Amino acid sequence: MADYKKMQENIKLICDRVSMGERMAMLAEETDELADAARLLLESITESRRKGRKFSCGRYASEEVAEEIADVVSVMLCVFEGEMLYEFLKHGTSGAKPARSAGELKKGLQELMEICSIVRYAAFKRRRINNEENPTDWTEGQTDGILRVFGGQLLLEMRNTLRQWQLAGVVRKMEQKLERWAMRLKGETANGEREGVLLDKSAN
């Protein structure tokens, strides 16, 4: 069972230490990686059908796609506030209908890639607001409006890509990512030691 209290503690630490601009850069990076994973899965489905092999819908969401979905939602938790994100963790939006056929999955993956592109674009614009080195004439209201609308759509499409039995694994991956992220910010390694101390030990 997910340790939501620990997740919230890690999210708070991340938000306190990482600027919104950098969190937006992370969102852009992770949505780009999700789109790449979705593209590879889409190509594998197309190739299977072209060669006459039956595509197994029971295992259609590859580990790579599930991993990237966990990464995207983890970053979204550190960017957005609102119940829609926690609803995803509690088994998704009520209107979500996971794809049941290869054809439905292909259509969903295409939509997922398109939404990732929009979110990535808006996140990069949001990062440039108040950036003296490379400013933009976009406003926070414009970017935040786009991110709210398409962020919700992104959550829905990610939920549609997964089967019910995969959700627990995705949440577990999210816990791990948030924990690693928080530990890096604290300068700690996986066993709780300070990175500098570990380096000193290895040098002796």
The pLDDT of residue 174 is 94
Q: What is the pLDDT along the chain (204 residues), one digit of tens a residue?
A: 678 899 999 999 999 999 999 999 999 999 999 999 999 888 888 776 665 555 554 355 588 999 999 999 999 999 986 555 655 555 444 455 666 677 888 899 999 999 999 999 999 999 999 888 999 999 999 998 899 889 988 988 998 888 777 888 899 999 999 999 999 999 976 555 555 444 444 444
> Quick one: pLDDT at residue 23?
95
Please report the pLDDT score of residue 61 as a whole number: 59
- The pLDDT of residue 3: 86
- Record the tokens describing residue 53, joined without a space: 């092999």
Q: What is the pLDDT of residue 53?
A: 57
Cα distance between residue 9 and residue 48, in whole Å: 44
Q: 123 with 71: CB under 8 angstroms? A: no
As a whole number of angstroms, the distance between CA 149 and CA 44 comes to: 30
What pLDDT is stored for residue 124 in this prediction? 96
- Residue 148 has a pLDDT of 86
The domain locations on the chain are 4-203
* HEC-encoded secondary structure of 90-150: CCCCCCCCCCCCHHHHHHHHHHHHHHHHHHHHHHHHHHHCCCCCCCCCCCHHHHHHHHHHH
**What is the pLDDT, as a whole number, of residue 92?**
43
Structure tokens that stand for 149 in this block: 């609308």
pLDDT of residue 177: 95
